[in-house]
Amino acid sequence: MRLNNLQKLMLNDLFKSTEGLYIYTLYNRYNSSPKELFLAIEVLTKMSLVKSDDERLTITTSGIEYAIKTYEVIKAKSNKLDGIQEKFSGPKIEINQFYIPKIIN
């Protein structure tokens, strides 16, 4: 079964946390509706990837194995400046420093 984006985010955050996370923390972090959050938690618990203890969610060993095997959860985020071509990058301009454009004919 494929996970949606919210479920991937939750599994990723739970994978990174040491003692699990509170449901309220997840609610504040994702700005999703309580219904969406509840459904995501329900799917993850049915798949036995996440364990719910009162108000705290923790990742199970099968959840850790799933996260490592699929690799889609733990992907390293790329730097947003990686896609900029070399000809468009230049020295960093400090505050109150003038910018003189380089004109190449």
Instruction: Say which range, 1-10, 34-43, 67-76, has the weakest mean pLDDT.
Output: 67-76
Statement: residue 72 has pLDDT above 70: no
Residue of 30, 18, 2 lying closest to 57 (CA atoms): 18
pLDDT tens, position by position, 26-71: 999 888 899 999 999 999 999 999 999 888 999 999 988 888 887 6
The per-residue pLDDT of the chain, averaged, comes to: 84
d(CA 7, CA 1): 12
pLDDT at 76: 52
Angstrom distance (rounded) from CA 17 to CA 55: 15
Q: From CA 100, how far away is CA 90, in angstroms rounded?
A: 11
Helix%, strand%, coil% for the chain, nearest 5: 45, 10, 45
